[in-house]
Structure 1
């Protein structure tokens, strides 16, 4: 077993153990707690907050992936090339409006809760996936396209069996970037009553309890590392499995 794999396993075990029984780690965080303050956040279950946080990131990333890849497919077809500028403008929308600004605009319309956060994460995640999908679909060698046409593949068959499989590693890189960024960005959702790990961080900041801040921050950081590593390994595995025309 490699050292890197061993370290990842240790991180997973420690994270699961902490979420399952956080009070067992109270001595670790006690030096960072304010005078007389609890060392471990107990106002909400850390496990439920983590699952809610991950669910929100997964939902927003999935929605951003469907829209971004769909737009990339559209603008790389002959009939849709004229929509490239419009698609880029849509994908750039989330980068133009920071998540905090999106929350401020969405709360009066949708109220407090998870929906404003989901909208902010969705918009912010469009650009990396769209640009990577566009790059992946436009850098396929012409010889590969010609070979697929030569065996009688239709446009749809080429897209599904050749283009998307070849572009998938690059698309996954965009999804990985979006997922990792969204993990950190989602913490601001707690300012509008969304159930995320930002609740723990905000509680620590408002009560001057560094232990809470560390707990929320460390959980998000470990999740980001594990998800980043998981996607990177998936990209590497898919890159080794090339379609027959590659």
Structure 2
């Protein structure tokens, strides 16, 4: 039951982080939004500057106990690496290839979908791997806010000075992170073959 709640919380966090980070990364690399790039970077850096435990504690009075404060911490802490990874992957696409696509008559949207995103895919997948591991690891903090996660045995172990409970929760969280990463890599390999 704890693992199921943990997966649901981490999965929701991953979806939110991916949507926000990839979306802002795409925005930051578009010529029309270039003036906003500094502000987007600053926003992401400020969000990550607050430690996740502090974020959860500060959000408790406003969002209550359970998943919402944990999701806020997941998104805040995962935004910057996802944003920077997205920007880096898109900027790694050679300018000559973009220019060639425009010379062929492709619109900016077509250049993005048909040229930039396919070429940036390896970097974007690496970015999502990082976001996945962060989401699984940080979801354990949900136990501090009363969310039933694999961090629950860790918190109980700390309170009762029970090393085996603490170790059980930590190892289960690590195993889930490794499993999620392996599944993402397997899905990526399958898509490349197909």
Tell me the CA shift for residue 50 of structure 1.
0.6
TM-score, length-normalised on structure 1? 0.73
Tell me the CA shift for residue 91 of structure 1.
1.4
* Count of equivalent residues: 194
Say whether the 8 Å CA contact 1:186–1:196 is kept in structure 2: yes
Tell me the CA shift for residue 239 of structure 1.
6.9
Unaligned runs of 5+ in 2: none
Question: Given the alignment of the two structures, is residue 91 of structure 1 paired with residue 44 of structure 2, yes or no?
Answer: yes
Structure 2 partner of 1:139: 92
Structure 1 partner of 2:140: 187
Structure 2 partner of 1:53: 6
Selected match of 1:176 from 129, 138, 162: 129
Structure 2 partner of 1:221: 174
Selected match of 2:115 from 162, 172, 176: 162
Say whether the 8 Å CA contact 1:64–1:126 is kept in structure 2: yes
Point out the structure with the larger helix share. 2
Structure 1 partner of 2:66: 113
RMSD over aligned CA atoms reads 1.9
Tell me the CA shift for residue 240 of structure 1.
7.8
Structure 1 partner of 2:165: 212
Q: 1:118-167: per-residue Cα shift (whole Å, max 9, x none)?
A: 00001100011111100111121122112322332111111111111211
Say whether the 8 Å CA contact 2:57–2:145 is kept in structure 1: no
Say whether the 8 Å CA contact 2:18–2:131 is kept in structure 1: no
Q: Structure 1 residues 188 and 49, CA, compared in 2 at 3 Å: closer, same or farther?
A: same
TM-score, length-normalised on structure 2? 0.91
Question: Given the alignment of the two structures, is residue 74 of structure 1 paired with residue 27 of structure 2, yes or no?
Answer: yes
Say whether the 8 Å CA contact 1:169–1:236 is kept in structure 2: no
Paired with 1:218 and 1:152, the residues of 2 have a C-alpha distance of 54
Say whether the 8 Å CA contact 1:200–1:216 is kept in structure 2: yes
Tell me the CA shift for residue 88 of structure 1.
0.4
Paired with 1:197 and 1:175, the residues of 2 have a C-alpha distance of 22
Say whether the 8 Å CA contact 1:169–1:235 is kept in structure 2: no
Say whether the 8 Å CA contact 1:128–1:175 is kept in structure 2: no
Q: Structure 1 residues 80 and 238, CA, compared in 2 at 3 Å: closer, same or farther?
A: farther
Paired with 2:98 and 2:137, the residues of 1 have a C-alpha distance of 39
Q: Structure 1 residues 178 and 50, CA, compared in 2 at 3 Å: closer, same or farther?
A: same
